[in-house]
A = this chain, B = another copy of it.
Amino acid sequence: MWLLKDTPALFTDLYELTMAQVYFKKRMAETAYFEVYIRKLPENWGFFVMAGLDEVGTLLREFRFSQADIDYLRSIKLFTEDFLQYLATLKPDVKIRSLPEGTVFFPDEPVMEVAGPLICAQLLESYILNILGFSIIQATLATRISVAAKDAAVVDFGLRRCQGPVASLRSARAAQMAGFRATSNMFAARELDFTPSGTMAHSFIHVHESQEQAFRDFAEEYGENSILLVDTYDCIEGIKQAAELARQLHEEKNMKLRGIRIDSGDLVVLSKFAREHFRQQGVPFLKIFVSGDLDEFAIEELLARGAQVDGFGVGTRLAVSRFAPAVEIVYKIVQYGDRAVFKTSPGKETRPGRKTIKRIKDGHYERDIISPLKSDTDDLLKPFESAEKMPTIQQRLTSELSAIDDSIKATRSPAKYPVEFSQNSP
């Protein structure tokens, strides 16, 4: 999928192009190896989940400078005509090794290696970082939320608060990967073949003469798909009205309304009241959905306090990754031609040379070892051509999660998974 009208090549920083022109003039065209990794975990996170390869695949297929791009570059008077002509025909002739999507990984581990002629590999930096950074954040956070929600359904409600339409798609795809049941985002639902889900807004109640009438109108149209929003006025009263309508429709038409949504107030108290009330009124089939500033911390606490919830709607706090809106993801050259290279700025040291990751397993995952690349090594990084199908990715993530200790997956203060650099590592 390529959502944008324009070609992707100009989604780059000026310095990638100014450096490229020097490489072009100096004929510096040996193979460069760039490594993508994340320096550290956000607070309370114990692992990352790989994601974003769908967009990387599209970037590689669609990457080219259009005539409009070339004309623009000419206009800024930094580039010579021979270099512009070179760019006009440039193809992203790179080879990629990557963790497959849905793989669990840890800081310092290379998640991707981009290898190719120096100019090509360099020009992809900005956009690959943009894709992988947020996609990994979203896949990891959606996984944390799924883990916290246990058996309850989770639905993505983030469209209105995420930082743009492409972000909304990255977020919905991550939710799908992590086992969310559905998304409210219709564009994402179509694009990803992901179940759309939605109920009603408070405005629906307001424009009706009464809440009862609003509930009736909705149920008349959507029957057993109806989820009634009960907290516009007094929530307890709303729960009672929903139960009464459900009881009537069940008696008169043998119809079972789907449930209710509570979007404010004390969700523990209100959901417990609703469950008990529905039982007493003979409508125990009504499901209880809750929403409103939820994340893995809130969900864990609600469940610990005994909230009666069949489904969580998660919006803002997933969509913008409230507590970790960015990670320190970097794209560092580790080898140029035959020469391993590294940087020694204080606090930003890098390890030179191409690498593999080996995962030591004994039923569960014990530790990872990062070593210099050798052809015969068992390696978590695999040659990447194009994205896998979603069920494959979902299954991988499920299997990965069952292989790592619960202590690593803890919502707060997780244990540290051991990652070592091998002895013969530089």
A residues contacting B by CB (< 8 A) are 2-6, 10-19, 21-23, 25-26, 28, 32, 34, 68-69, 72-73, 76, 78, 118, 122, 125-127, 129-130, 133-134, 157, 159-168, 170, 184-187, 189-190, 196-207, 217-218, 221-222, 225, 231-235, 263-265, 316, 319-322, 325-326, 329, 332-333, 336, 341-348
Q: Is the CB of A343 within 8 A of B160?
A: no
Q: How many Å from the CB of A72 to the closest CB on chain B?
A: 4
Q: How many Å from the CB of A125 to the closest CB on chain B?
A: 7
Bound complex: CA of A320 vs CA of B138, how far in Å?
Answer: 14
Q: Is the CB of B263 within 8 A of A164?
A: no
- Chain B residues near A205: list those with CB within 8 A: 343
Number of copies: 2
Q: How many Å from the CB of A426 to the closest CB on chain B?
A: 14
Most buried by B among A17, A22, A325: A325
Task: With A21-B221, A232-B343 given, name 13 new contacts (CB 8 A).
Answer: A5-B5, A13-B159, A14-B186, A15-B199, A32-B207, A34-B203, A76-B189, A76-B196, A78-B222, A126-B160, A164-B164, A232-B344, A320-B326
Q: How many Å from the CB of A401 to the closest CB on chain B?
A: 25
Most buried by B among A12, A28, A203: A203
Q: How many Å from the CB of A239 to the closest CB on chain B?
A: 13
| Sample (8) of A-B pairs whose CB atoms are under 8 Å apart | A10-B190, A22-B218, A76-B196, A122-B203, A202-B332, A202-B345, A233-B343, A264-B347
Q: Which of B72, B167, B200 contacts A166 (CB 8 A)?
A: B167
Bound complex: CA of A333 vs CA of B25, how far in Å?
Answer: 61
